[in-house]
């Protein structure tokens, strides 16, 4: 008797053959697949994570191809050979990182050109607001097809948040108001994405160690969560505390909660370089801390356990930085 080996069915594939003419039809289908967030596994084979919505979307594309004179099939797939699931996930993340990078580059260009004029010139200010709104729509569209939480999202989101803040005449007043009202933020539930890593681990430790020892944490999916009453979101899309400009969430928390401590600044520099991967500070301890964090995340899938292990690491690291001579 033959044993049938089944792989987990995680993907939907669109396999198509499009007639060479007219040229615009091939481009039209390609753009439609791009908007859905599909990636090319190989020529004429596109993949999406399996879901009812993805199945409906691909079936509509397949119908459009056949009505245009081509051939198309939609199938469920689990790979027994070829790319692994992890490799396919990495392909999705790379595609979205490229999208986020384009948004981030345009946000930086906007900050360097139009925004300085917007302070005194009403026309430039209107233009800046229109451009930021357009970038915000692009970011929303990209987040909607970011199925595996690409890291570039946080940088793009932070740059747009910084633009929003700078365009508001009372931006500085808002920051000061948050800092002065910090006592009202205690006793709340702090919500962030599942799969804790460096910035979320460090930020949660900071909140509990220096701001609210009784803080509660909730870990939710990256997309689609609606906050409940009394909750504060951090290091996630449209959060109360998240990336601003080139600052990671840990740095933003220090700034907005008015925490000034040399030991914490040193930790912030390490967290920044690991999270944003830009080597801005280049501290010698960074690569070692990154390996430890990666080890915690690889060995511990439960976020509460990661929180405990990460908290112990940052406790020791803080002691080392605040008393460097001992």
Both tokens of 78, joined, read 């689990």
- What's residue 307's pLDDT? 95
Tell me what pLDDT residue 226 has.
Answer: 84
What pLDDT is recorded for position 30?
A: 92
Q: Is 73 helix (H, G, I), strand (E, B) or coil?
A: strand
**Residue 2, domain member (yes or no):** no
Q: Strands across the sheet with 231-233, in order?
A: 216-220, 189-193, 231-233
Answer yes or no: is 5 within a domain: no
Q: Residue 1's pLDDT is what? A: 43
pLDDT of residue 288: 95
The beta strands (E) that lie in the chain are given as 11-17, 39-42, 45-49, 71-77, 189-193, 216-220, 231-233
Same domain, residue pair 121 and 197: no
| 178 plus 280 within the same structural domain | yes
Q: How many CB atoms lie within 10 A of CB 237?
A: 19
For residues 217 and 174, is the Cβ–Cβ distance under 8 A?
no
Q: In this predicted structure, what is the pLDDT of residue 183?
A: 65
The reply to whether 183 and 318 lie within a common domain is yes
pLDDT of residue 2: 43
Instruction: Give the domain extent around 218.
Output: 174-322
Query: 26, 47, 77: which is the final residue of a domain?
Result: 77
pLDDT at 178: 47
Are 35 and 91 found together in one domain? Answer: no
Instruction: Confirm if 14 and 72 have CB atoms less than 8 A apart.
Output: yes
Per-residue confidence (pLDDT) for residue 130, from 0 to 100: 81
Instruction: Give domain status of residue 141, yes or no.
Output: yes
Beta carbons within 10 angstroms of residue 218's beta carbon: 15
The reply to whether 66 and 122 lie within a common domain is: no
Round to whole Å and give the CA distance between 176 and 74.
54
Q: Is there a domain that residue 158 lies in?
A: yes
Q: What is the pTM of this model?
A: 0.61
Residues 213 and 248 in one domain: yes
Q: Please give the chain's pLDDT, 326 residues, in tens.
A: 444 444 468 999 999 999 888 888 989 999 999 999 999 998 899 999 999 889 999 999 999 999 999 999 999 988 888 888 999 999 999 999 999 999 999 999 888 887 777 666 666 777 777 888 889 889 989 998 999 989 888 889 888 888 877 776 544 444 444 444 566 778 889 999 999 999 999 999 999 998 888 899 999 987 778 888 889 999 987 788 998 888 899 999 998 887 888 899 999 999 999 998 888 899 999 999 999 999 999 999 999 999 999 999 999 999 898 765 54
Q: Are residues 197 and 278 in the same domain?
A: yes
Name the domain boundary from 77, 95, 130: 77
Q: What is the CATH number of the domain that holds 50?
A: 3.30.70.240
For residue 69, being part of any structural domain is answered with: yes
How many structural domains compose the chain?
3
């Amino acid at each position: 008797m033959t044993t049938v080996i089944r792989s987990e069915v995680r993907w939907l594939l669109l396999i198509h053959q499009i007639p060479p003419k007219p040229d615009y039809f091939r481009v039209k289908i390609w753009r439609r697949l791009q908007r859905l967030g599909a990636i090319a596994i190989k020529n004429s084979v596109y993949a999406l994570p399996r879901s009812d919505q993805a199945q409906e979307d691909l079936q509509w594309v397949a119908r459009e191809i056949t009505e245009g004179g081509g051939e198309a099939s939609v199938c469920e797939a689990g790979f027994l050979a070829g790319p692994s699931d992890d490799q396919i996930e990495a392909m999705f993340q790379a595609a979205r990182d490229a999208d986020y990078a384009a948004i981030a580059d345009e946000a930086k260009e906007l900050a360097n050109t139009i925004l300085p004029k917007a302070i005194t010139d009403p026309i430039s200010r209107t233009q800046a607001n229109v451009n930021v709104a357009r970038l915000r729509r692009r970011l929303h569209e990209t987040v909607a097809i970011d199925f595996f939480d690409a890291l570039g999202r946080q940088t793009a989101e932070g740059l747009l948040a910084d633009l929003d803040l700078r365009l508001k005449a009372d931006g500085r007043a808002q920051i000061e108001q948050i800092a002065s009202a910090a006592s009202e933020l205690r006793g709340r539930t702090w919500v962030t994405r599942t799969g804790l890593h460096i910035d979320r681990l460090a930020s949660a430790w900071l909140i509990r160690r220096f701001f609210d020892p009784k803080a509660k944490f909730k870990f939710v999916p990256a997309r689609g969560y609606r906050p409940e009453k009394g909750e504060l979101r951090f290091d996630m899309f449209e959060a109360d505390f998240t990336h601003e400009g080139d600052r990671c969430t840990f740095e933003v928390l220090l700034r907005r909660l008015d925490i000034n401590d040399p030991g914490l600044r040193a930790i912030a520099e390490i967290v920044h370089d690991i999270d944003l991967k830009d080597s801005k500070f280049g501290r010698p301890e960074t690569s070692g801390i990154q390996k430890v964090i990666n080890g915690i995340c690889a060995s511990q899938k439960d976020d509460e356990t990661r929180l405990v292990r990460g908290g112990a690491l940052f406790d020791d690291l803080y002691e080392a930085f605040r008393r460097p001579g001992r």
